[in-house]
Structure 1
Amino acid sequence: MGISPAPPPGSPPAEGSPEAPVGEEVGGDPVGQEPPKSHKEELKDAFFDKVLKSKEFNFLMFILTVYALFGDDVRLAFYDVDDDQVFYNLSIFAMLMFLIEMGLQYYFRQEYRWGFYFWLDVLSTASMIPDTNLLNTLIYSEGSAVGGGGGGETASTMKAGKTSRAGAKAGRVVKIVRLIRFVRIFKILKMRKQAEDDEATTDDGKSLEAKLEEEPSKVGKKLTELTVRRVIVIVLAMIMIFPFLDDPDAFVGETEFTSYEALKLNDLHLMTDTFNATGNVTGDFLKEQVQRYAEVQAKPENKQIIYFKVNNWDIEVTNGWIRSVTGDSHALLTELPKLDVEYRRSDARIPSSAPNTCTLETTDPDQCLTVAYYNLQAKNRVASKFSLIKTSIIVFGLSVAVILFSRDAETLVIDPIERMIKLVKKLADNPLASLYKDQTEEGAEGFETNLLETTLEKISSLLQVGFGVAGAQIIQSNMGSGGDLDVMIPGKKITAVFGFGIMEEFTNTCSCLEEEMCTYINTIAKIIHDNTCAYHGAPNKNIGSAFLLVWKICDGVLPGLRDLRDASGEELEAERKAELRKNIGVMSSGAGTVERKLSPQELVDSALVGVLKMRVDLNFANDEGGTLEEFKRNNKIVDYYNGQFEVDMGFGLHIGWAIEGAIGSNYKIDASYLSPNVNMAARLEAATHQFGTPLLVSGPFVNEMSPAARAMCRKIDVVTVKGSQIPLELWTCDISNFDSASLEALTPRIEDGAQKAIDLDAIKKGVQRDFDDEFKRVFEEGVDFYIKGDWEQARNRIDKCMGIHSGDGPCNSLSRVMDKEGGKAPDDWRGFRELTSK
């Protein structure tokens, strides 16, 4: 009875079948993907990333923003008028840089144009104009800033002083708008630091996670943006409105009739003019009034008089009167102070000046003037220091407000949504990625968002378990695009090692165990699947008693791998084959947590070792206290097998190409592999009964092994199978010792999270410790004579081997073949036979 080919699970999709390429928009935007951009837009993005997002540029803007916030207050608080020009130049430079940045942002960022931050930047940049002294330069000529002129010049100077004071007070409020630029620049620098951390993480091999963490979700960005905007508007409104309500006169400027200085100065002017027409105002009376005026103004909490001129009165005389009250150390000018040279306009206060009209005749019309200047520098320095403290407090308060306003929304809404989005992106980018999440948030279990997140994780994990490696492309295609579900995507050609394992006595055990059969199969499946994954493979299908296991090597056909159905194929030279394969490899962590690259040869060796480990684990599971003991003690099992039941499996290993994809319809699909090479692995397992060995591996598989792994195997026959005329070598790998030493040798070794390379020498010493080397040598000689057609010599060697190990299945198989032909090779013997029986 011949071995019939295992029925193929399906066939490859026909050409022209509907496709949904990964990332292509079907009915909506792909998850985590943007619409395609033009070349011009790509150049814009590149420039934006290189310049406007650069660490150097943003650090410069950060420094300039800090200067814009504190520079003018530092100037007034700690420096003299001689240093003002340096600060003016810095302010002009900062304002120009802000204008340049605004222009670049306007050109490169569509969302910035006419947006919220655009107008805030316009306002904050415009608020720097008073810091540059440009307004004073434009409004007032150099001549008007210097005293000594007539009354018209003095009136202009008075107006300049009032304007400067009002502008300075209003500027302190408007300057707070610059805080927004500070917050935005700080945020950019923080994002830049996060990007650098992500790049460092990428270098450590965690590129996927780094990409996912780099940008927040659109929902998160929008909600955070709205929160920040509202906080900014509320804070700015409070800062700008409350001072008007507290002290409106401070912003509209004092009038000539709302302060003691203005009223009294006007009285002094009239005393020396109209009031003196009757001669009632004597010098002593005027002296008393001037001294009283100076005494009130000289109090420490008020201002210091630096220039005082009374209408038609000698300035030296009035200065003497004032000194007698304020002290001899009090310096008084005899000429109008030079503003912006000797004193800042904001420091030289001019409360009022009497009209320059006199009823008395004077020799000099310019003497018809009454004016006073006060030095406010000390007061302004204190005010500037308080302004520094105020700005710092507002910066801190604004930052804290944004954090507090955003924290609850981020914790309860944004973070769960972003984690769910990242989970979907993660599946779209790498359908086989680990979905484990550390749940450490206290109380999170009670919120609906956490329920959604947990449910999505479970659904995603079920997708991974259900589809496996073969279904990765299906998950990636559908999770990475919008639109309708499309599972019928085209297949992909790959090269892999295929393992096929079948549980023995399945029908009988199923009848005995009944409902327990699922638990029984799952117990065995855990052993098979755990070892497959530990040795860099992937379980694919479970069909009743059968397991299909896959060790994927590469996409496409592995260079130099011969197809059993291609008789014309030539064997590549070893050097040429190595050259073509030098860049081929698979990243895998195996039983560890850190991935490393495995060559095709190491993957082939891993498949062999993984199956050996399965056999040893099954042996331990059958022992007393093993995971399969409870099934062996089942009453029906004991009765049926008379207490002699042992769980056993047969395995077949083969390497070749296959089509990886979805098989089925929109009602039900399986993600699997279609290829005669998959069927070949199943044929090999089926033939294990004929050859009396639990493991059969193909010649192509052995050819891809390392020399150390090949030394553990022995060739047992050469056959042709249905559908192929190319001879196929059959090999097996023996296990002589099923003990703890073998188990220890086969257990993966982990170091620093990475699984180390297989130690085949240690494994051979473990699993084949009691294997007779003489037996193997004689058997190999017998097989060589058998292939050459010298069956007499072959019979001698095989008989000798059976004397050493009478129960050896391959020896008995060869003996039966030769006996069937009468102990002599057929005349048409070509070194192989057709496999026609099980």
Structure 2
Amino acid sequence: MASRKASTLFLFRDSSGIEPRADAYQKQNSEDLDTNIYEQVAKPTFIACPEDIWAPRIEDDNGNAVEEMHVKTQFELYVEGFKRSTVNILDHGVILCVVCVGTFWALFAEDVAHGWPLAKTVDTQIAIVNFCFLIFFVAEQFARSVVQRKDYLFNFFWWMELAANASMILMLGPIMFPEGQYKCAAAIGLSNLDGLTAGSRLARVMRLLRVLRVLRVFNSLHNSCKHRSRVANEKAAKQSAIGKALNEKLVRSMIVVVVALQLIFPLLSFDEKNSARELTLDVLIMGENFSKSEGELYGAAMRGQYLFGGQHKLDLESMTYARNYPTLMKTVISSEALVYIDDQPASTFQGWDGNSYNAADCLSPDADDSFAACPPWIHELRCSELEYFYTEKGVHEAYWEVREQQMAYAQLNIAITIFLMVIILGMYISLSADVTFMVVQPIEGMVGLVRTLAENPNYKLEGQAKCKYETEAVRVALAKIIGLMQLGFGSAGHEIISANLANSDQATLNLMVRGKKMDCVYGFCDIRQFTDTVECLQDQVMLFTNSVGEIVHQSCHDNRGEPNKNIGDAFLIVWRPRSVSDHAKVADGALTAFRRCVREIASSRTLQLVTDVEAIHKKFGRGKYQTKIGFGLHFGWSVEGPVGSPVKVDCSYLSAEVKISDRLEAATKIYSSNILMSGQFYDLLSEHIKVGIRLIDHVTLKNGMKPYRIYADDRSNLWLKMNPRLVRIYGADIAYEQFSKIFHEGMDAFIKGDWPTAQQKLQGARDFCPKDTPTLLLLKEIKKRSIDPSTPTAPVDWKGYHDSDV
């Protein structure tokens, strides 16, 4: 590769429009630069992975392929929007209320119909409503399975919903199996003693699943109310993922425990067998066997006593039987095994309605398994209100009416269901409140804190005195870590803090974010004689440096300044205006802050005590050392962002403009002034702030071509000493005004090239301030560059500024 001559030209390539001056290109010698000034930049060797490469199909052109991708993207967006809308509809308060009403209906409708003397025709109407709610529940579960496939399908709550919906199928009996002519024998025949116990246990579990659906609906309504309150109050923190997960796990654990108790406790309990009906049937059979004739009154009376000991009244030889026990409705012992009536044939029995019925038609073993020929009041009974029983050999069988028992059982079910709901909801609310208060709220608070910091990295955290729980200790530690991070990165690191805290999906830190171009005020300050001071103070130098830094940082912070760099003896402060109209405010604040720094450092009791050591007295002389700091101020553009590598990164401001404030601070040693500022900064100051500031030179910086006006702040100049004689004559204020006026006239003549006038005015200014360094330097420059030794004359190529070593 061809060699290249050294050049001081800096070429910037940036999308923000950072470019060198146009004349800088024109001044370059064509022999120094090749045709392509970037030819030494290596060509990119990036090879895309196959999945990163997209190409249209061969048979289609690019336009068709792009259009196809656009349509596909629109379809995907439509699908996502449809899913969001569906979820919002399913979680709407109206839908949740319908689910709640349907759940309560499924829980209590059947028990209300069976627990009170309602007509049997009500069962069909209730079953129709149950079928409608079942369709609604199935549709809701299917919709959630489609739109919430990842979070809902085949998880624990999906299976619970499926079981709860399946349990409602058992409630559709009046629709699926109409009783018709009351053919209940087959259904009732399945209810032997063991099957009844297992079936009742299964029914309890199915009912429990419907009760637990109330818990899910309650949780959904609770979350919906919280969501509406969050929308109404923007300050409320969003529910975190861990809060949602903990509530779901809590509900899951409660469901598992309650279902397990329902299944296990009956297995551990012992129920004594009720043999009353078996003994009753045995007595009836015995009474029949001991009867000597069909018309024997004794046997008939005994059968009647056992058969009709129920709510219905039967007059038998002036005796009234009314007992609250299950009433035997049908036996197949023989056609005469019921009530004997003295003046009627043996095949005739008396019903509870007072009418006579033929036993052969109603109770004959050869007749159909129905009650078609029985009294009408038997038709009003439900299948569940009949209980079937038979002897061990199957020779004798009987049906018992258990309506009163079923009514009491249904009412008891309602009470148990309400009790379970209260217990489960109470447990859920209590446990959820404890978990939320002790775990979820602290974690959500920390997550909300991170979100707030992602939006406003300069957010100040509130302190906490005591830590009762570990979660509070974690929050305190988080606050300290964030505080240290804010101090470490400073205002320039806000983008890094915001980008990394907002992106929770990325596991590693993303420190190499793109810079941001902005206009700022840059203030650079440096401690004088720092090397000698370090040698004298030794281990006390940290106290000395931090004392100075505290004064500088606090003064600048109070005036909207943002400390950026701490380089031992030097500090970089940045003032970032919010808008163009804010430039004057930040400039006034910057100068005010540095003026305050000069005063407080000169009068700091802490610095006086720290430097009052023998080593300092020996090095500088007793009572002669004084902490002095130089300040430089400039306004210009820079790029704000991270500088460094993943190993170590600093957030700073990069541009040649930032370096000018450093050059101005270094020039304070040359001009013997505490605060120097550029013309760009001076032009932004308010008029009342400009009082006490004077233009002291117009120069180009070292190795630079652009001229800068340099201003000095005499109000904070500890080196400025007025002539005591003139101060006594004019007074301090008037003497300074005369000095400033004469110096300004001399400076103006110097820039215009009228050096004789400039020399005259500057010598007059020297009378007011004999040791004013800017005056002496200008007189020296006139004498040095004058083309006529006898008469001060500006050079022929004088442009109003001169070179300097700044």
Q: C-alpha distance in 2, partners of 1:126/1:817?
A: 102
Q: CA deviation at 1:140?
A: 1.8
Deviation at 1:695, TM superposition (A): 1.9
Q: 1:399 is matched with which residue: 421, 428, 437?
A: 428
CA shift at 1:173, angstroms?
3.3
C-alpha distance in 2 between matches for 1:602 and 1:713:
21
Question: Which among 274, 281, 289 is matched to residue 297 of structure 2?
Answer: 281
Unaligned 5+ runs, structure 1: 1-5, 20-24, 26-36, 146-152, 321-332, 360-367, 554-597, 739-767
- Corresponding residue of 1:631: 610
The CA distance in 2 between the partners of 1:92 and 1:779, in whole Å, is: 102
Q: Tell me if 1:314 matches 2:350.
A: yes
Deviations 1:4-33 (A, max 9, x none): xx9x9xx99x999999xxxxx9xxxxxxxx
Closer/same/farther in 2, CA of residues 386 and 319 from structure 1, 3 Å limit: farther
Shift of 1:64: 1.9
Q: 1:161 to 1:535 in 2, by over 3 A?
A: farther
Contact 2:699-2:802 within 8 A present in 1 as well: yes
Question: Which of 214, 238, 241 matches 2:261?
Answer: 238
Question: Aligned with 2:241: secondary structure?
Answer: coil
| Structure 2 runs not aligned, ≥5 long | 1-7, 15-40, 47-51, 53-71, 314-319, 332-337, 340-346, 357-373, 719-731
Cα gap change, 1:126 to 1:463, in 2 (>3 Å)? same
Q: Output one character per residue of 1:674-708: Cα deviation in whole Å (capped at 9) or x when no partner.
A: 32112111111122234443222223334455667
Name the amino acid aligned to 2:208. Answer: I
- TM value normalised by structure 1: 0.65
Equivalent residue in structure 2 for 1:527, among 551, 569, 573: 551
Superposition deviation, residue 335 in structure 1:
1.5
Deviation at 1:712, TM superposition (A): 8.1
Distance (whole Å) between structure 2 residues aligned to residue 783 and residue 239 of structure 1 = 101
Is 1:438–2:467 an aligned residue pair?
Answer: no
Alpha carbons 2:124, 2:175 under 8 Å: kept: no
Partner residue, 2:387: 351
Q: How far off is 1:123 after superposition? A: 0.7
Cα distance in structure 1, aligned partners of 2:466 and 2:89: 35
Q: Match for residue 833 of structure 1?
A: 801
1:37-436 superposed matches below 5 A: 46-53=81-88, 57=92, 60-61=95-96, 64-65=99-100, 67-69=102-104, 72-73=107-108, 76-77=111-112, 81=118, 88=127, 91-108=130-147, 109-130=149-170, 133-141=171-179, 143-144=180-181, 153=183, 155=185, 170-195=202-227, 203=234, 210=237, 213-217=238-242, 225-226=248-249, 228-243=251-266, 246=269, 260=276, 264=280, 277-281=293-297, 288-289=305-306, 292-294=309-311, 312-315=348-351, 335-336=376-377, 339=380, 349-352=385-388, 372=401, 374-375=403-404, 379-380=408-409, 382-399=411-428, 402-403=431-432, 411=439
CA distance, structure 2, for counterparts of residue 71 and residue 711 of structure 1: 87
**CA 221–393 in structure 1, closer or farther in 2 if over 3 Å, else same:** closer
Q: Distance in 2 between matches of 1:18 and 1:465?
A: 40
**Deviates further, 282-291 or 507-516:** 282-291
Map of 1:737-752 to 2, 5 A cutoff?
A: none
Over residues 713-747 of structure 1, what are the superposed CA-to-partner deviations in whole Å (9 max), with x where a residue is unaligned?
65444333245433323334554799xxxxxxxxx
Question: One-letter code of the match for 1:681?
Answer: S
Residues 189 and 821 of structure 1: CA distance in aligned 2, closer, same or farther (over 3 Å):
farther
Partner amino acid for 2:96? Answer: M
C-alpha distance 782-306 of structure 1, shift in aligned 2 (>3 A)? farther
Would the alpha carbon gap of residues 604 and 338 (structure 1) be closer, same or farther in structure 2, given more than 3 Å must change?
A: farther
**Using the alignment, how far apart are the partners of 1:636 and 1:168 within structure 2?**
98
Contact 2:92 2:224 in 1 (8 A): no
**Aligned mates of 2:388, 2:535 — CA distance in 1:** 114
Q: String of CA shifts for 1:161-191, please: whole Å, max 9, x gaps.
A: 9999997885443222234444444444444
> SS at 1:697's partner residue?
strand
- 1:536 and 1:551 in contact (8 A); partners too: yes
Q: Shift of the alpha carbon at 1:399?
A: 0.8
- Rate the CA distance shift 1:454–1:523 in 2: closer, same or farther, 3 A: same
Cα deviations by residue, 1:317-376 (Å, 9 ceiling, x for unpaired):
7699xxxxxxxxxxxx9513555xxx7766xx2234899xxx9xxxxxxxx998746345
| Conserved 8 A contact 2:309-2:323 | no
**CA deviation map 1:548-590 (0-9, x unaligned):** 222345xxxxxxxxxxxxxxxxxxxxxxxxxxxxxxxxxxxxx
8 A contact 1:655–1:677 mirrored in 2: yes
Deviates more, 1:79-88 or 1:158-167: 158-167
Q: Which residue of 2 aligns with 1:675?
A: 655
- Residue 156 of structure 1 and its aligned partner are, at CA, apart by 6.5
In 2 relative to 1, CA 385–800 (structure 1 residues): closer, same or farther, beyond 3 Å?
farther
Q: Secondary structure at the match of 1:238?
A: helix
Q: In the alignment, is the contact (CA less than 8 A) between 2:446 and 2:475 conserved in 1? A: yes
Aligned partners of 2:111 and 2:411 also within 8 Å: no
Any idea what SS the aligned residue of 1:633 has?
coil
Q: Where do 1:469-484 residues align within 5 Å?
A: 469-471=491-493
* Residue aligning to 1:612: 592
Q: How many residues align?
A: 677
Secondary structure of the 1:127 match is: helix
The offset of 1:136, in angstroms, is: 2.0
Distance in 1, matches of 2:472 and 2:330, equals 74
Q: Residue type of the partner of 1:438? A: Q
Query: Structure 1, residues 439-494: CA drift from partner, whole Å, max 9, x if none?
Result: 643153xxxx8888877766665554444444556667778576777867775545
Deviation of 1:524 (Å): 1.0
- 1:255-304 CA deviation, whole Å, 9 max, x = no partner? xxx6545764786699789958542235655655556455899556x679
**Residues 498 and 678 in structure 1, CA contact (< 8 A), matched pair in contact too:** yes
Aligned counterpart, 1:721: 701
Query: Is the contact made by 1:535 and 1:607 (CA closer than 8 Å) also made in structure 2?
Result: no
Distance 2:756 2:290 in 1: 153
* SS of equivalent to 1:177: helix
* Matched AA of 2:95: L
Report which stretch shifted further, 416-425 or 486-495.
Answer: 416-425
**Using the alignment, how far apart are the partners of 1:773 and 1:75 within structure 2?**
103
- TM-score normalised to structure 2 length: 0.67
Residue identity over aligned pairs, in percent, reads 25
**Distance verdict in 2 for CA 1:716–1:345, change over 3 Å:** farther
Is the contact between residue 386 and residue 402 of structure 2 (CA under 8 Å) also seen in structure 1? yes
Q: Secondary structure of 2:615's match? A: helix
C-alpha contact (below 8 Å) 1:232/1:398 kept by paired residues = no
Aligned-CA RMSD value: 5.5
Give the SS at the match of 2:565: strand
For 1:653 and 1:375, locate their aligned partners in 2 and report how far apart those are by CA, in whole Å.
99
Residue 508 of structure 1 pairs with residue 532 of structure 2? yes
Deviation readout 1:98-147 (Å, 9 max, x if unpaired) = 222221222232242222221111012222334xx422211124x335xx
